[in-house]
């Protein structure tokens, strides 16, 4: 069968599909070295994983939205409304406490991460009929992502999404881990059986879709459930999410558009332009984290001045605007009309 690659087999494999497999292989081969990396080089792991991948992927969205000529004019309410709404929502949440703010932001982030995997699955299944087989794929993706999170909510983990105790509200619920584990295994078995049955029956194999779902199972299970390690979770979580997203933005919004469509973004289409594209999103990411570090966290470096406590309920939501805007905008910018 003709494989439904987004760009081509090589690009899709290395930038979209392979990250969870490669990172997991590295983790199993070099666990001892990873522990040393975590304890001795925390600044560099933070700089690469958090700043240059996680935060950078947020700013890659600019190349599908605010940097595209005429895009803001077409959807003014969306593009101006969501950042303003994000800030006001953040301020409102902060009135209920710092933990409430971060807990809600973490849940929105989790939803965003889950929906990204679903979105990639839909892209790779775009040529398949809308039938029971596709429904099983959808359920499988949600099981692969939701189960580890539900497990995390009820089981102490050595890592956080943003801050400590962000999911503490779920600990009051009755213990459901046994039930959801059985359900998770059953869904996985059904998906594997369905995939094998389809392959035998049709003599066709959708390689990128199967790789995407398998990688999702592996990265979320081993990153959250199997290992209980902060750096391993960050490696699997951030790389498997951020790199494919950045690649998708570049492929769809620059590489696959003609020169007339690109307009002022044409400079990013050449080989040199790829490095410029990466440089732009890294610059935005570093500037944001510089503000977070110097004004709020002061964990990796500081300018030795203190922000008034009365300003923080407005400043922290303001600094979170790019991230929350990215999460919320993502629910709109990838939608396509049903008749297409």
Question: What are the domain boundaries of the chain?
Answer: 9-331
Encoded tokens for 257: 């558009």
State residue 328's pLDDT score: 95
Whether the CB-CB separation of 78 and 329 falls below 8 Å is answered with yes
Torsion of CA 47, 276, 123, 323, to 10 degrees: 40
Whether 308 shows a pLDDT value over 90: the answer reads no
pLDDT of 22-78, one tens digit each?
A: 999 999 999 888 888 877 788 899 999 999 999 999 999 999 999 998 889 999 999
DSSP assignment of 69-112: TTHHHHTHHHHHHHHHHHHHHHHHHHTT-HHHHHHHHHHHHHHH
Share of the chain above pLDDT 70, in %: 99
State residue 336's pLDDT score: 67
Q: Which helix (H) or strand (E) holds 30?
A: none
State residue 33's pLDDT score: 87
Contacts 24+ apart (CB under 8 A), 306-309: none
As a whole number of angstroms, the distance between CA 10 and CA 194 comes to 27
As a whole number of angstroms, the distance between CA 127 and CA 199 comes to 16
């Amino acid at each position: 069968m003709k494989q439904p690659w987004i760009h081509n087999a090589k690009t899709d494999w290395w930038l979209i599909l392979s990250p969870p497999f490669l990172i997991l292989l590295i983790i199993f081969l070099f666990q001892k070295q990873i522990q040393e990396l975590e304890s001795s080089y925390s600044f560099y792991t933070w700089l690469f994983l958090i700043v240059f991948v996680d935060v950078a992927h947020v700013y890659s969205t600019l190349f599908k939205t605010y940097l595209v000529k005429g895009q803001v004019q077409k959807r003014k309410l969306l593009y101006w409304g969501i950042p303003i709404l994000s800030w006001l929502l953040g301020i409102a949440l902060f009135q209920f406490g710092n933990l409430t703010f971060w807990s809600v932001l973490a849940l929105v982030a989790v939803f965003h991460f889950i929906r990204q995997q679903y979105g990639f699955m839909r892209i790779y299944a775009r040529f398949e009929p809308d039938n029971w087989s596709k429904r099983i794929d959808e359920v499988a993706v949600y099981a692969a992502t939701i189960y580890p999170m539900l497990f995390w909510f009820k089981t102490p983990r050595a890592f956080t999404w943003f801050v400590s105790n962000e999911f503490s509200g779920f600990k009051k619920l009755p213990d459901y881990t046994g039930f959801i584990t059985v359900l998770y295994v059953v869904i996985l078995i059904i998906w594997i059986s369905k995939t094998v049955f389809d392959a035998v029956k049709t003599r066709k194999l959708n390689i990128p879709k199967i790789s995407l779902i398998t990688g999702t199972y592996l990265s979320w299970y081993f990153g959250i459930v199997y290992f209980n390690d902060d750096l391993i979770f960050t490696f699997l979580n951030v790389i498997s999410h951020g790199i494919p997203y950045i690649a998708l933005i570049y492929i769809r919004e620059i590489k696959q558009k003609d020169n007339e469509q690109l307009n002022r973004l044409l400079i990013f289409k050449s080989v040199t332009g790829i490095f410029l594209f990466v440089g732009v999103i890294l610059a935005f990411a570093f500037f944001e984290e510089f503000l977070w570090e110097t004004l709020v966290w002061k964990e990796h470096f500081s300018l030795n001045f203190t922000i008034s406590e009365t300003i923080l309920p407005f400043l922290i939501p303001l600094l979170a605007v790019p991230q929350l805007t990215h999460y919320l905008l993502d629910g709109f910018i990838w939608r396509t009309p049903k008749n297409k």
